[in-house]
A = this chain, B = another copy of it.
Amino acid sequence: MAKALKALIISADDFEDTELLVSYYRLKENGVQIDIASMKKGTIKGKHGYEIEANKALGEINPDDYDMLILPGGKAPETVRKDKDAVRIAKSFFEKEKPVSAICHGPQTLITAGLLKGRHATSYKTVASELKEAGALYIDKDVVVDGNLVTSRQPSDLPVFLKETIKKLNEIKK
């Protein structure tokens, strides 16, 4: 049997509940092992009150242990993007061209990491201007795929966001 793929979700308090949870459950459905990392270990709480355990602290993450990075939205990315380890991890995924899926405010961490210059991407509408300032080629579309990068705008895009994310998973040869 093939070795299980591993995904890392980075988030924090005030995550957009469905963007994190729908992605989490969808990857689990496909047998993916998932770690959730935040500034520190422990329960994080979504904007709508759902709680989930961040079983890892960002500082202890070795990105080489993971096949895929997921960046859900909400208000969490405003905090996550300020964390030097979150930036370090995102850079590593891009250097190694491993799949990164970011939705809503999720791309903000990639902006801070300086990873979107010349890349086709989308985001929540209020993030569009800073995405463009960061040199991204912004497209107002439910899902944008550019190489290793899958981006979407909002919760209602989750079906196509996850369809493309699962495609990226299926391309990974273990």
Task: State the CA gap A26–B50 with chains docked (Å).
Answer: 19
Q: Which of A84-92, A110-118, A155-163 sits within the interface?
A: A155-163
Encode A20-40 as 1/0 by CB contact (under 8 A) with B: 011001101100000000000
The complex places the Cα of A29 from the Cα of B159 at a distance, in Å, of 4
Q: Contacting A48 at CB < 8 Å: which of B26, B50, B159, B163? A: B50
Please state the number of chain copies in the assembly.
2
Which DSSP category, helix, strand, loop or mixed, fits chain A's interface?
helix
Is residue A151 contacting chain B, with contact meaning CB distance below 8 A? no
A73 CB to closest chain B CB (Å) equals 15
A147 at the interface (CB under 8 A from B): no
A17 within 8 A of B: yes
- Judging by beta carbons under 8 Å apart, are A50 and B18 in contact? yes
Q: Looking across the interface, which residue of chain B has its beta carbon closest to that of A17?
A: B48
* Known A17-B48, A48-B17; contact A25-B28, beta-carbon cutoff 8 A: no
Closest to A156 in B: B25
Binding site for B on A (CB under 8 A): 17-18, 21-22, 25-26, 28-29, 48-50, 158-160, 162-163
14 contacts between A and B (CB under 8 A): A17-B17, A17-B48, A18-B18, A18-B21, A18-B50, A22-B22, A22-B25, A22-B26, A25-B158, A26-B26, A26-B29, A29-B158, A29-B160, A48-B48
